Amino acid sequence: VRRGEVDAITFTSSSTVENFCDAVGPIVGAQPLVVSIGPVTSATAGARGLRVDAEADPHTIDGVVAALRSALATGPAGSLGA
């Protein structure tokens, strides 16, 4: 992540956001695309300083995959809250 070699990160729960942020620390520089499974997870990511680029709808693993594919096609310009 720190070397810019990751295209995207998906989060399926707030605990995965917390564990990722605790393990990696702040992301300095370009952030990979971030896709979350739903609004609670997105809020946790935002509170931890991550830009959420897409949110699954429906809030399922299939929804995460669809949101990831769409976000990779459009890039961070379609970020939530942008």
Judge whether 22 and 47 are in contact, CB under 8 Å.
Answer: no
Write down the pLDDT at residue 82: 41
**Long-range residue pairs from 69-73, CB within 8 A, at least 24 positions apart, any chain:** 71/8, 71/33, 71/35, 72/7, 72/8, 72/33
| Overall average pLDDT of the 36-45 stretch | 98
pLDDT digits (tens, 9 = 90+) for 47-79: 999 999 999 999 999 999 999 999 998 866 545
pLDDT above 70 covers a percentage of the chain that reads 90
Stretch among 1-5, 32-36, 42-46 having the lowest mean pLDDT: 1-5
| Overall average pLDDT of the 22-44 stretch | 94
Write down the pLDDT at residue 75: 67
Kindly write down the DSSP assignment for every residue of 16-68, as one continuous string. Answer: HHHHHHHHH----SSPPEEEESSHHHHHHHHHTTPPP-EE-SSSSHHHHHHHH
